[in-house]
């Protein structure tokens, strides 16, 4: 492998990893607070892309407005799923909420199928995201640069929210001890709603980026990137936002470099993420950034 | 009042005879479509019981059921198929020569399929079963996905993503129900003997169970492999039922479906698994007419794919929101429970819980 090809793959891997990271944030934030694997999150990510698709056509190509509105609407959808499906059973056994999440996931998937049909739709290509730059022999598509820049900005903003605002403090408090935090008279429902809103909005950004990179959307698209993003969250240490980014980048890079190094084994690409997952779980079950807690008797 | 053991046994046998009498009526008079639906119900019961032993009895959150189903399905198929059909199926990449000429009777290969799935469960269970709840779920999910990717990439053994068609017609509704009855019977016996109690002790409190002298890892691996055994059998029956294997049958969605039967019925509850697996499967098939074209008199509605699944999911959501502990909770069906229930009705007894013979 020449240096150029390596750098080419590296940029591609970072872009992939950033996409995983964007979706992983929603998983990790919700898990951190509610200890719930929100299986509907991958469908929310895809709904963001579909909304962008519809609004882009509705606003006749005004993509800033269309994408902005779709991100806002997806955030509302995230809050709505919590209000309908998770909030009423906050005190039931945790598995109930998980099944509830699976039901919501099926509902969104089939609603998309009913409304848009099963055939793939061509996602609009914005000229800004459709250029290819040549830097010293490496060709980098502008979408990759956009993905990396946007996820960098989102990480910084999210860190500021988490560590510099009162809401962020409340989120971290809920995440480290839900019951004690609730006793401190904080509005738990509001904080949970904000968490869902932030996670879903970022997932929508990820969905739009994903659809711009692979410009075809269909209702069953969400499953694979969703699951891999979830794995990224676990690998990084679930419940930890920086971990989601580190996990996403690790996964994206390993995946792309594996295919680049062993092209004959490229069929096993989807297994790589899961193998990494199992190795990490066996040696550091709480993930790269996770804290290890002891079970109290 | 309880019946003696002997009488209970006689009533049970009578009920099973009644069930098979009913199946004979369905088989002879109600057409092959209904036979197929009822067969699928029983297959899902077997799958649900398998997962219930792993998750419901022992509390090990497993999302790997589809993986064990796939293993059972492929093992049973490759062992049962005739060399001629194998050659016809593997036209892109020829099948491995050592696999080509193996042909065993169906019951033997079905058993082997179950045992191979159980063997895999032991092999992966030994390292990963020490993980805690959610992490175990994720690890087993990873295992199932790895199995699926491997199946897609080994064309000389599994025929890759094209799957296998024209499976021999070896099952029928009686065989499937006989296996389902045996599975339910086994689970019932397991839940009431010392092994089952050890498993439930592990579920309730692992540390306390260990302190009481239960070998945690041994029991966990045992339960995991028993569940995988039934998953393998169920997966094999499923592909023989549908006459084809498609690797897409074994995605996470398959696991989710079985998981919904188990949780909606009540964790650890055999009655719940049986009733919910049966009802959900039956409703899903029965609702197929929704997706067909409909004539409402004045307008004709074209079928909308996805409607059926949507209704199913909404139903599931309502059930989960309404019954946090599953429809059946802790209530188990038993012959004595039913008799007592009617006795109490007669006496108009005000005593509570007379019918609950869990």
* Winning range, highest mean pLDDT, from A40-54, B90-104, B328-342: A40-54
Chain B: nearest CA to A271, how far in angstroms? 5
Would residue A136 be called left, alpha or beta, if left means φ above 0 and alpha means ψ between -120 and 50 degrees?
left
Residue in chain A lying closest to B139 (CA): A278
Provide the pLDDT for residue B356: 41
Q: Which helix (H) or strand (E) holds B301?
A: strand B300-301
Interface touch B149/A275, C-beta < 8 Å: no
φ and ψ of A141, to 5 deg: -70, 145
pLDDT tens for A125-169 read 888 877 888 877 788 888 888 999 999 999 999 999 999 999 999
Provide the pLDDT for residue A286: 79
Provide the pLDDT for residue B357: 41
Provide the pLDDT for residue B90: 82
Residue-range domain boundaries for chain A: 3-283
Interface touch A110/B143, C-beta < 8 Å: no
Residue in chain B lying closest to A237 (CA): B135
Q: By the CB < 8 Å criterion, does A224 face chain B?
A: no
Interface touch B207/A106, C-beta < 8 Å: no
Q: Which of residues 162-221 of A touch B (CB under 8 A)?
A: 219
Instruction: Please name the member of A103, A267, A275 whose beta carbon is closest to the beta carbon of B153.
Output: A267
Chain A positions touching B314 (Cβ under 8 A) are: 103, 107
Chain A positions touching B128 (Cβ under 8 A) are: 278, 281-282
Provide the pLDDT for residue A176: 84
Q: What integer best gives the mean pLDDT of chain B?
A: 85
pLDDT tens for B2-36 read 667 788 888 888 888 888 888 888 888 888 888 88
Cα separation, A271 vs A278, whole angstroms: 11
Cβ-Cβ contacts under 8 Å between A and B: the total is 126
Q: Which range, of A45-59, A241-255, B80-94, B330-344, averages the lowest pLDDT?
A: B330-344
CB count within 10 Å of CB A223 equals 18
Instruction: Please name the member of B138, B309, B316 whose beta carbon is closest to the beta carbon of A234.
Output: B138
pTM summary value: 0.88
Interface touch A110/B304, C-beta < 8 Å: no
Q: How confident is the model at residue A80 (pLDDT cuts 50, 70, 90)?
A: very high
Higher per-residue pLDDT: A77 or B130: A77
pLDDT of residue B358 exceeding 50, the answer is no
Question: A249, A47 in Cβ contact below 8 A?
Answer: no
Provide the pLDDT for residue B1: 54
Q: What integer best gives the mean pLDDT of chain A?
A: 88
Residues of B with CB under 8 A from a CB of A: 61, 127-128, 131-132, 134-135, 137-139, 141-143, 145-146, 149-150, 152-153, 207, 251-252, 256, 259-260, 263-264, 267, 304-307, 309-310, 312-314, 316-317, 320-321, 324-325
Provide the pLDDT for residue B223: 94
pLDDT tens for A12-28 read 899 999 999 999 999 99
pLDDT tens for A99-112 read 899 899 999 999 99
Chain B positions touching A93 (Cβ under 8 A) are: 267, 324-325
Chain B: nearest CA to A63, how far in angstroms? 30
Higher per-residue pLDDT: B130 or B65: B65
User: Which pair of structure tokens corresponds to residue A90?
Assistant: 């906050």
pLDDT tens for B100-135 read 888 889 999 999 999 999 999 999 999 888 887 788
> Which is nearest to A124 in space by CA: A64, A58, A52?
A52
Chain A positions touching B150 (Cβ under 8 A) are: 268, 271
Segment B162-172 shows an average pLDDT of 87
Residue in chain B lying closest to A103 (CA): B313
Residue in chain A lying closest to B256 (CA): A102
Instruction: Please name the member of B142, B150, B320 whose beta carbon is closest to the beta carbon of A100.
Output: B320
Instruction: Please name the member of A92, A107, A295 whose beta carbon is closest to the beta carbon of B310.
Output: A107
Angle between helices B194-204 and B216-242 (to 10 degrees): 100
CATH number given to A3-283: 1.10.3470
HEC assignment per residue over chain A: CCHHHHHHHHHHHHHHHHHHHHHHHHHHHHHHHHCCCCCCHHHHHHHHHHHHHHHHHHCCCCHHHHHHHHHHHHHHHHHHHHHHHHHHHCCCCHHHHHHHHHHHHHHHHHHHHHHHCCCCEECCCCHHHCCEEEECCEEEEHHHHHHHHHHHHHHHHHHHHHHHCHHHHHHHHHHHCHHHHHHCCCCHHHHHHHHHHHHHHHHHHHHHHHHHHCCEECCCCCHHHHHHHHHHHHHHCCCCHHHHHHHHHHHHHHHHHHHHHCHHHHHHHHHHHHHHHHHHHHHCCCCCCCCCCCCCC
Segment B209-218 shows an average pLDDT of 89
Cα separation, B242 vs B246, whole angstroms: 10
What are the beta bridge partners of residue B301? B294
Secondary structure (DSSP) of B228-293:
HHHHHHHHHHHHHHHT-B-GGGGSHHHHHHHHHHHHHH-TT-HHHHHHHHHHHHHHHHHTHHHHS-
pLDDT of residue B354 exceeding 50, the answer is no
pLDDT tens for B289-308 read 777 666 666 666 666 777 88
Provide the pLDDT for residue B312: 84
Indicate which of A84, A86, A90, A96 best probes the interface with B, i.e. most B CBs within 10 Å of its own CB.
A96
Count of alpha carbons within 13 angstroms of residue A227, beta-carbon side? 23
Interface touch A106/B313, C-beta < 8 Å: yes
């Amino acid at each position: 492998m020449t240096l150029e090809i390596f750098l080419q793959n590296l940029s591609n891997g970072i872009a992939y990893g950033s996409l995983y990271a964007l979706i992983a944030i929603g998983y990790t934030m919700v898990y951190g607070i509610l200890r719930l694997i929100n299986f509907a999150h991958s469908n929310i990510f895809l709904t963001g892309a579909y909304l962008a698709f519809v609004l882009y056509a509705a606003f006749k190509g005004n993509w800033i407005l269309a994408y902005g509105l779709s991100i806002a609407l997806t955030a509302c959808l995230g809050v709505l799923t919590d209000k309908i499906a998770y909030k009423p059973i906050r005190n039931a056994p945790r598995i109930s909420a998980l099944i509830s999440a699976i039901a919501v996931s099926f509902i969104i998937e089939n609603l998309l199928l009913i409304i848009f049909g099963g055939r793939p739709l061509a996602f609009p290509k914005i000229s800004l995201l459709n250029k290819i730059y040549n830097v010293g022999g490496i060709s980098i598509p502008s979408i990759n640069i956009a993905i990396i820049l946007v996820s960098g900005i989102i990480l910084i903003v999210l860190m500021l929210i988490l560590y510099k605002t009162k809401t962020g403090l409340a989120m971290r408090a809920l995440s480290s001890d839900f019951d004690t935090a609730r006793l401190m008279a904080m509005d738990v429902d509001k904080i949970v709603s904000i968490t869902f809103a932030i996670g879903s909005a970022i997932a929508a950004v990820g969905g739009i980026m994903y659809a711009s990179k692979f410009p075809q959307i269909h209702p069953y698209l969400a499953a694979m990137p969703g699951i891999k993003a979830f794995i990224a969250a676990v690998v990084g240490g679930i419940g930890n936002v920086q971990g989601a980014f580190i996990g996403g980048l690790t996964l994206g890079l390993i995946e792309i470099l594996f295919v680049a190094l062993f092209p004959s084994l490229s069929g096993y690409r989807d297994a790589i993420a899961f193998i990494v997952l199992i190795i990490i779980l066996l040696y550091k079950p709480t993930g790269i950034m996770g804290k290890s807690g002891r079970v109290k008797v | 009042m309880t019946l003696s053991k002997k009488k209970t046994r006689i009533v049970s046998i009578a009920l099973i005879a009644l069930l098979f009498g009913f199946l004979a009526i369905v088989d002879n008079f109600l057409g092959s479509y209904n036979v197929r639906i009822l067969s699928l119900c029983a297959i899902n019961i077997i799958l649900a019981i398998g997962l219930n032993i792993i998750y419901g009895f022992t509390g090990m959150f497993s999302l790997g059921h589809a993986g064990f189903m796939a293993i059972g399905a492929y093992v049973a198929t490759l062992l049962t198929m005739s060399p001629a059909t194998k050659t016809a199926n593997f036209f892109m990449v020829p099948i491995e020569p050592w696999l080509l000429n193996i042909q065993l009777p169906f019951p033997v290969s079905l058993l082997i399929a179950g045992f191979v799935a159980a063997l895999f469960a032991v092999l992966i269970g030994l390292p990963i079963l020490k993980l805690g709840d959610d992490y175990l779920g994720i690890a087993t999910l990873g295992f199932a996905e790895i199995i699926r990717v491997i199946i897609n990439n080994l064309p000389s053994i599994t025929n890759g993503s094209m799957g296998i068609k024209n499976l021999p017609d070896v099952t029928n509704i009686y065989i499937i129900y006989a296996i389902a009855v045996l599975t339910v019977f086994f689970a019932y016996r397991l839940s009431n003997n010392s092994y089952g109690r050890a498993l439930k002790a592990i579920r309730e409190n692992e540390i306390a169970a260990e302190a009481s002298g239960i070998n945690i890892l041994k029991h966990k691996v045992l339960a995991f492999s028993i569940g995988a055994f039934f998953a393998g059998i169920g997966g094999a029956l499923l592909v023989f039922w549908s006459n084809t294997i498609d690797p897409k049958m074994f995605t996470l969605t398959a696991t989710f479906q079985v998981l919904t039967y188990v949780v909606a019925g009540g964790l650890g509850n055999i009655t719940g698994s049986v009733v919910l697996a049966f009802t959900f499967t039956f409703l899903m098939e029965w609702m197929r007419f929704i997706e067909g074209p409909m004539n409402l008199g004045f307008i004709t509605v074209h079928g909308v794919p996805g409607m059926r699944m949507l209704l199913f999911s909404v139903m599931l959501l309502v059930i989960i929101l309404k019954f946090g502990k599953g429809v059946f909770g802790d209530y188990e069906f038993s012959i004595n429970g039913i008799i007592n229930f009617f006795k109490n009705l007669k006496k108009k007894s005000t005593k509570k819980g007379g019918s609950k013979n869990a």
